[in-house]
Amino acid sequence: MAEFPVKLAIETLASLLVQETKLLRSVKKEVESIKRELEFIRSFLRDADARAAAEEEGERNGRVDD
């Protein structure tokens, strides 16, 4: 008689573990997607900073030549 509740608990826990695994996989994919987007933004900002620095340097050189 005590075997039934234990069996039910095992089945319930197994089901919950399967669901948790699916959720974790989904979260992992979302985190990887966000990471890729942030790396793209970081690259964009680096490029923008480099261009701004080059432009500023060019303006300084232009002022010196004037």
What's the first-to-final CA gap in the chain, in angstroms?
98
- Rounded to the nearest integer, the mean pLDDT of the chain is 91
Structure tokens at 30: 């979302």
Output Rg (C-alpha) for the chain, integer angstroms. Answer: 28
Q: Exposure string (b/e) for 8-33, b if CB count within 10 Å is 16 or more?
A: eeeeeeeeeeeeeeeeeeeeeeeeee
Residue 63's pLDDT is 66
Mean pLDDT of 25-47: 95
